[in-house]
């Protein structure tokens, strides 16, 4: 995409990625894409804020060149060292050897570790400023949003906060880069939540700390390093992030994630009865087949909803593996404070139940009465399954 001026002398020079299948090598974005937003402040001194993944590097350099000659660049401000933002750094440094890299002390250490760069580095501390001419930027240390070295850059006067990973989302930009140009906010919010839970959720406490730290700063534009630039309503994405971070310690909203898997259909037959019971009670329900759904898409529901029903048969004395993998990722993402139960079919001595209990122990979830049956469910089993679903839904509705 060509550069886009977001304020006089301040340009978006990002890269729209519709090529990568897995963000961080893990999270599917084949359908959705993602953007790596970078910015150029064109003053007496020329500074780039954030860079891009090493992808279409020639286009990236061309974009800069449309505004200033590359040799005129003075600073590259590295808010965050993750290679989705620093990937083009080594090439840029070779093209413009004199450019000064600005970052925190930890960034300096990582520059050597990741790229062997040890010179022309300016270390900044929390609150430091850098004069660019008519404009001045200020740096705020925001450790662990997303890595320990992370900071944010604030353009004084204009009130633009370059927030890096914070306030970002999946989803390649669709022409317009601004929130007021977004015509499908439902999609964007969903993808921003999926990004939040996949990437940032573990760091929810640092996110809330950063939001609190910057709460008195006059911000007119939030310019993150992924997704929309917020100029009409920057408060909206801050509120969403605050809400999502709140789930880290909270009980979650009334609703049930029904996660299941099946080898030969017995557990699935029961799943339909259990789902019927939950919906009879009018409690919102998300159903995921762990065999076909990437955990990336399941995590947002687990993160936000109070109840978790796991339907999984016994496989080799343990929980059906595709379901176990999702629960293991729930542990990695530190999803806490959930009320959970299990149902499933077994053939002889079972074992799924036991492994489920050890997951629940590890996750520190509360467990309610489980429900197992042998082989194919009888009509009576199915009636019990429906009652089991309804009882669980009532429990979720009543839990405070």
| Contacting positions for Fe ion (CB under 5 A) | 82, 84, 146, 165
Q: Which residue number, 146 or 194, has a Cβ lying nearer to Fe ion?
A: 146
Are 64 and 49 in contact, with CB atoms under 8 Å apart? no
Q: Which does 119 bind (CB under 5 to 8 A by kind): ligand FMN, Fe ion, none?
A: none
| 200 secondary structure, DSSP code | I
Nearer to ligand FMN, 183 or 349 (CB): 349
Residues 217 and 161 sit within 8 Å (Cβ to Cβ): yes
CB of 164 vs ligand FMN, minimal distance in Å? 45
Stretch that binds ligand FMN, among 35-43, 92-100, 179-187, 256-264 (CB under 6 A): 256-264
Contacts 24+ apart (CB under 8 A), 351-356: 351/314, 351/316, 351/317, 351/318, 351/319, 352/312, 352/313, 352/314, 352/315, 352/318, 352/319, 352/320, 353/314, 354/318, 355/318, 355/319, 355/324, 356/310, 356/312, 356/319, 356/327
Nearer to Fe ion, 57 or 198 (CB): 198
Stretch that binds ligand FMN, among 14-22, 86-94, 166-174, 343-351 (CB under 6 A): 343-351
Token pair of 393, please? 């839904």
- Residue 9 binding ligand FMN, by CB under 6 A: no
Which of ligand FMN, Fe ion, none sits in contact with 104, Cβ below 5 to 8 A by type? none
Binding residues for ligand FMN, rule CB under 6 A, total 19
Q: How far is the CB of 387 from ligand FMN (least distance, A)?
A: 20
Helix (H) or strand (E) holding 192: helix 185-195
Q: Decide if residue 291 touches ligand FMN (CB under 6 A).
A: no
Shortest separation between residue 85's beta carbon and Fe ion, angstroms: 6
Stretch that binds ligand FMN, among 101-109, 214-222, 234-242, 313-321 (CB under 6 A): 313-321
Residues 23, 288, 315, 365: which binds ligand FMN (CB under 6 A)? 315
Q: Does 107 bind ligand FMN (CB under 6 A)?
A: no
From the CB of 389, what's the least distance to ligand FMN, in Å?
16
The token pair at 358 is 């050890």
263 binds ligand FMN (CB under 6 A): yes
Query: Does 185 engage in binding with ligand FMN (CB under 6 A)?
Result: no
- Measured between alpha carbons, how far is 336 from 300 in angstroms, rounded to an integer? 13
| Helix (H), strand (E) at residue 362 | helix 352-363
Tokens representing 154 are 């604030």
> Does residue 264 bind ligand FMN (CB under 6 A)?
yes
Supply 203's token pair.
Answer: 């760091």
β-pair type (371-374, 339-346):
parallel
Which residue in 20, 153, 225, 267 binds ligand FMN (CB under 6 A)? Answer: 267
Rg of the chain on CA atoms, in Å:
24
Name residues contacting ligand FMN, limited to 366-395 (CB under 6 A): 375
What's the closest the beta carbon of residue 318 comes to ligand FMN, in angstroms? 7
Contact between 13 and 22 under an 8 Å Cβ cutoff? The reply is no
Q: Does the protein bind ligand FMN through residue 28 (CB under 6 A)?
A: no
Which residues does 118 contact at the CB level (< 8 Å), separation at least 6?
Answer: 111, 112
Q: Strand 27-28 relative to strand 22-23: parallel, antiparallel, unpaired? A: antiparallel
Q: Which residues bind ligand FMN (CB under 6 A)?
A: 262-267, 313-317, 345-351, 375
């Amino acid at each position: 995409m060509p550069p886009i001026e977001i304020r006089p002398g301040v340009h978006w020079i990002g890269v729209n990625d519709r090529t990568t299948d897995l963000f961080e090598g893990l999270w599917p974005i084949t359908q959705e894409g993602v953007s790596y937003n970078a910015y150029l402040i064109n003053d007496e001194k020329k500074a780039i804020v954030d860079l891009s993944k090493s992808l279409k590097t020639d286009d990236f350099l061309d974009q800069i060149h449309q505004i200033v000659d590359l040799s005129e660049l003075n600073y590259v401000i590295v808010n965050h060292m993750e290679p989705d933002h620093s990937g083009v750094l080594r090439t840029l440094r070779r093209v413009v050897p004199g450019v000064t890299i600005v970052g925190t002390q930890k960034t300096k250490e990582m520059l050597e570790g990741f790229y062997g760069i040890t010179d022309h580095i300016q270390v900044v501390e929390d609150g430091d400023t850098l004069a660019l001419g008519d404009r001045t930027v200020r740096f705020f240390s925001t450790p662990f949003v997303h890595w320990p070295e992370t900071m944010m850059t604030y353009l004084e006067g204009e009130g633009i906060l370059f927030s890096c990973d914070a306030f970002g989302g999946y989803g390649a930009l669709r022409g317009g880069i601004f929130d007021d140009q977004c015509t499908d906010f439902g999609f964007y919010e969903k993808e921003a939540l999926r990004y939040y839970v996949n990437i940032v959720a573990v760091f929810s406490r640092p996110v809330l700390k950063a939001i609190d730290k910057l709460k008195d700063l006059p911000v007119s534009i939030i310019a993150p390093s992924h997704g929309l630039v917020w100029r009409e309503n920057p408060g909206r994405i801050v509120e969403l992030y605050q809400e999502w971070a709140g789930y880290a310690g909270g009980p979650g909203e009334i609703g049930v994630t029904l996660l299941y898997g099946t080898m030969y259909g017995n557990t699935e037959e029961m799943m339909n009865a259990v789902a019927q019971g939950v919906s009879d009670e009018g409690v919102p329900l998300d159903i995921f087949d762990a065999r076909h759904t990437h955990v990336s898409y399941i995590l947002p529901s687990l993160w936000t909803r109070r109840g978790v029903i796991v339907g999984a048969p016994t496989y080799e004395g343990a929980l059906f593996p595709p379901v176990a993998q999702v629960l293991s990722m729930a542990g990695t993402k530190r999803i806490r404070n959930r009320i959970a139960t299990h149902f499933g079919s077994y053939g002889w001595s079972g074992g799924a139940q036991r492994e489920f209990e050890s997951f629940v122990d590890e996750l520190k979830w509360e467990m309610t009465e489980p429900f197992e049956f042998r082989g194919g469910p009888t009509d009576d089993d199915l009636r019990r399954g429906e009652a089991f679903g309804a009882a669980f839904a009532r429990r979720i509705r009543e839990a405070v």
